[in-house]
Amino acid sequence: MELAIVGLGRMGGNMARRLVERGHRVVGYSRTKATVDEHVPFGIVPAYTPEEVIGALTPPRVVWFMYPAGEPTESAIFQFAPLLQAGDIVVNGANSFYKDSIRYAERLAVRGIRFADVGVSGGVWGLENGYGLMAGGDPEAIAWIEPILRDLAPTPDKGWVHAGPVGAGHYAKMIHNGIEYAIMQAYAEGFELLRRKSEFQMDIAAVAEAWRHGTVIRSWLLDLIAGFLKEDSELTEVAPYVADSGEGRWTAHEAIDLGSPAPLITLALHERFRSQDAQGFQYRFLAQLRKAFGGHAVKKVEPGESRD
């Protein structure tokens, strides 16, 4: 079938390539001409304006958006909306907050435009291995885009799900990412404990490789861990800063709203916040407070030494 992918970044561009490889006609559009041109050799049909995108598709059109969540996605969807007609389908594949997707669907429904929200997992490996897909929308809309979902997934019958009505796809992806935060934090803490047991002089890369086979904690994430530890077990070129995309925050807020305990996910999110505090004020505060009540020595910053 045919569709347009709006946003040809790392995810959107690879998704477009995977679909072309599987026989779909993909019209590609991005905010810069150079990005579109980069993908022409892979078989996409180039379009350089929203009008060209719409003109290159036969109704009912499928326009799949892969911009960053929030304002970039909302602006793009409603830049295209006046050009679409009743029966066309907008797919939001960004990591959007599920309530935003519900709101987008309501606005588009006034024009008779159908909507699906699809949470996409797989990162840069999705082109080769396929993507995990969580779709929200009415059954008719999902049935129409099912050939796309089946070819983006690792296999046609595995790795994708119609999670429920509009909003359910991004809700499932939000919880997926919250779980991901907690799993990553557990691995990080465990490998730090291995590394700190200096008297054992443990080869943590070798341990990671062994754990990949037969253990109950083997996973794709552990495969990746073993790979990068083999290259540099001290991670000397990596700054101790871990960004958060927003999905972990949304998951923690949802846990509060539902009164559903999620301490591991929430703590993993807070550990990311901790890594982002370059000034370390909380720790300097605690050190000074220990001195105030107990006379404990405070380590001073040496001249020329940065706190960052």
Residue 70 maps to which CATH number?
A: 3.40.50.720
C-alpha 216/C-alpha 192 separation (Å) is: 19
In the sheet where 89-92 sits, what is the strand order? 45-46, 25-29, 2-6, 62-65, 89-92, 114-121, 132-136, 160-164
How does residue 297 score in pLDDT terms, banded at 50, 70 and 90? confident
Inside any domain, residue 78: yes
179 in the same domain as 148: no
Q: Peptide bond before 46: cis, by omega within 30 degrees of 0?
A: no
Q: What is the CATH number of the domain that holds 182?
A: 1.10.1040.10
Is 180 annotated in the active site? yes
Q: Alpha-carbon distance 291 to 288, whole Å? A: 5
Q: How many CB atoms lie within 10 A of CB 270?
A: 14
Is the same domain home to 180 and 51? Answer: no
Query: Domain range holding 89?
Result: 2-164
Same domain, 138 and 247: no
140 and 256 inside one domain: no
Please report the pLDDT score of residue 303 as a whole number: 63
105 and 183, same domain (yes or no): no
Q: Is 242's pLDDT higher than 90? A: no
Give domain status of residue 169, yes or no: no
pTM: 0.89
Confidence of residue 240 (pLDDT cuts 50, 70, 90): confident
Question: Residue 212 falls within a domain, yes or no?
Answer: no
156 and 186 inside one domain: no
pLDDT of residue 280: 72
Res 305: pLDDT: 52
137/178 same-domain check: no
Catalytic (active site) residue 173? yes
Q: Residue 194: pLDDT band by 50, 70, 90 thresholds?
A: very high
Residue 228 in any domain: the answer is no
Same domain, 18 and 151: yes
37 and 147 fall within a common domain = yes
Residues 47 and 86 in one domain: yes
pLDDT, mean of residues 83-88? 98
CB-count burial class (<10 Å; 0-12, 13-18, 19+) for 59: exposed
Residues 186 and 64 in one domain: no
Catalytic annotation, pick one of 74, 173, 247, 254:
173
Question: C-alpha angle 253/255/258, rounded to 5°?
Answer: 110
Catalytic residue among 2, 52, 146, 180: 180
**The total number of structural domains that make up the chain:** 2
> Are residues 180 and 153 located together in one domain of the fold?
no
CA 134, CA 60: separation in Å to the nearest integer?
Answer: 22
Please state the rounded mean pLDDT for residues 269-279: 84
